[in-house]
Amino acid sequence: MLQVFPDVKGRFGDFGGKYVPETLMGPLQELEDALDQAMEDQAFHDEYHHVLEEYAGRPTALTYADKISDYLGGAKIYLKREDLNHTGAHKLNNAIGQALLAKRMGKEKIIAETGAGQHGVASATVAAKFGLKCKVFMGEEDIRRQELNVFRMKLLGAEVVSVSSGNGTLKDATNEAIRYWVANCEDHFYLIGSVVGPHPYPRMVRDFQRVIGDESKKQFLEVEQELPNRIYACVGGGSNAMGMFYPFLEDDAELIGVEAAGRGIDTPEHAATLTKGAPGVIHGSLTYLMQDDNGQITEPYSISAGLDYPGIGPEHAHLFQTKRVRYESITDKEALDALRLLTEREGIIPAIETAHALAQAFKEAGSMSKDETILINLSGRGDKDMATLMEHFEEEV
């Protein structure tokens, strides 16, 4: 059974665990105990699903992309519409779950890290909704790139803390959030945005995101009477992919995770952690990461701030090692082309992160037969990326 992971030590096969300073071992145990209790409590599940339904707007639609399917001339392509989730991406599913857990633990203050700002916005949103105080750590470079989301967070009442260490991106924001948590763990809940970090975070975030895969499975069976042949999702830290893949791990569907190849995996400017990285420890977890020969973590690059992360969730490292999931990588340019295609053919502007999954699926769809099916996790909408898209497309549009 695949579902026994993680084990009691928080391991997914060789990966995961708790590689943290001693001061965090206590708070992580407290979190694990509270999580275990909550997960066994039907009332907690009921409340979580109730909020997903009447506040976030779930279940999200499953859309048959007929124009694109015809255009590519191969497999039938379906889109799981996480872009229709409240706040515009899958991130809110996890933020709701963790905020409910924070309340249950009596913690009134939450902290979060953010790269593109989507998880920061989701955290600020649940903080407003549940009456919690929220502090979001964000790299100064990302603050510049994602001005609009910074304003959204502030409007929602969150404090945005600018992080200038390192390159001022997601990795550095996460370091700073962990440091802040070490000093303030008694009354603060750290709301991690992806399936990364020390145990029990990778498991918790997966379990709060699996609603994506659970809904998809049910919806797909209703329209196609069988499961998809291939399922695609983009992977930065890997939460939308893990949420989509997890309920399908024991089925026959082929699962494909798509990393960011940036300017190309043969250049130093990419974020293709599994394709080009090596095993190591980052943010408290043993997983794959981008590093140099001396074991120093290197800075990733991707046009999409949400995939611009040098690590990846430990469960993905395990699924990579056991070959249950195939991991591919897509360049900035390929992602932008796919984004254009979906926008023009289907009237859906996806996030640039999501466009990586689309690009890989579009590459493969044409060579599949017409009775085969593809499911793509449309993890978020592209509204937040308008400034970047304008830089690239304005002349053409």
Partner 1 sequence: MLTKTSFQGKLEKTEDLFIPFLVAGDPTPSMTIAFALRLQQQGADVLELGVPYSDPLADGPTIQLAARRALDAGMSLRKAIELVPQLRKHGLTIPVVIFTYYNPVLRLGHDQFFELLEENGVEGVLIPDLPFEESEEIRGQAESKDIEFISLVAPNSEQRIKQIAENAKGFLYCVSTLGVTGGENKMTGESLAFIKKVKEYSPVPVAVGFGVSTNEDVKIVREHADGVIIGSKIIRLIENELDKINSGEKSGALKSFSNSIAELVK
Task: Specify the pairing of strand 109-114 against strand 188-190.
Answer: parallel
Q: Of the candidates 392, 384, 393, 391, which has an alpha carbon nearest to the alpha carbon of residue 115?
A: 384
Q: Are 275 and 360 in contact (CB under 8 A)?
A: no
Dist. CA 130–CA 125, nearest whole Å: 9
Beta carbon nearer to partner 1, 21 or 57: 21
Q: Which of 155, 221, 223, 278 binds partner 1 (CB under 8 A)?
A: 278
Beta carbon nearer to partner 1, 213 or 311: 311
Q: Which of 105, 148, 182, 227 binds partner 1 (CB under 8 A)?
A: 182
Pair of tokens at residue 64: 């048959």
The reply on whether position 186 binds partner 1 by CB under 8 A is yes
Judged by CB under 8 A, the number of residues near partner 1 is 38
**Active-site residue (options: 32, 82, 113, 176):** 113
226 burial level (CB within 10 Å; 0-12, 13-18, 19+): exposed
Q: Are 355 and 363 in contact (CB under 8 A)?
A: no
Beta carbon nearer to partner 1, 76 or 135: 135
Told to judge if 91 belongs to the known catalytic residues of this protein, a careful annotator would answer yes
Q: Are 189 and 105 in contact (CB under 8 A)?
A: yes
Residues within window 298-327 making contact with partner 1, judged by CB under 8 A: 298
Dist. CA 186–CA 262, nearest whole Å: 40
Q: Of the candidates 225, 274, 258, which has an alpha carbon nearest to the alpha carbon of residue 362?
A: 258
Which one of the spans 181-189, 209-217, 345-353, 366-374 is the region binding partner 1 (CB under 8 A)?
Answer: 181-189
Q: Which of 166, 224, 263, 393 binds partner 1 (CB under 8 A)?
A: 166
Told to judge if 113 belongs to the known catalytic residues of this protein, a careful annotator would answer yes
Told to judge if 344 belongs to the known catalytic residues of this protein, a careful annotator would answer no
Q: Are 11 and 18 in contact (CB under 8 A)?
A: no
The reply on whether position 165 binds partner 1 by CB under 8 A is yes
Q: Which of 3, 42, 225, 296 binds partner 1 (CB under 8 A)?
A: 296
The reply on whether position 282 binds partner 1 by CB under 8 A is yes
Beta carbon nearer to partner 1, 14 or 269: 14
Count the helix, strand and coil residues of the chain and give each as a percent rounded to the nearest 5.
Answer: 50, 20, 30
Beta carbon nearer to partner 1, 264 or 280: 280
Beta carbon nearer to partner 1, 293 or 371: 293
Q: Which of 13, 19, 264, 343 binds partner 1 (CB under 8 A)?
A: 19
Which one of the spans 16-24, 259-267, 301-309, 371-379 is the region binding partner 1 (CB under 8 A)?
Answer: 16-24
Q: Of the candidates 316, 116, 281, 107, which has an alpha carbon nearest to the alpha carbon of residue 209?
A: 316
Pair of tokens at residue 318: 């395990």
Q: Find the helix or strand (DSSP H, E) in which 315 lies.
A: helix 314-321
- Annotated catalytic residues are 91, 113, 379
The residues that touch partner 1, with contacts defined as CB under 8 A, are 9, 17-23, 25-27, 165-166, 171, 175, 178-179, 182-186, 278-284, 286, 289, 291, 293-298
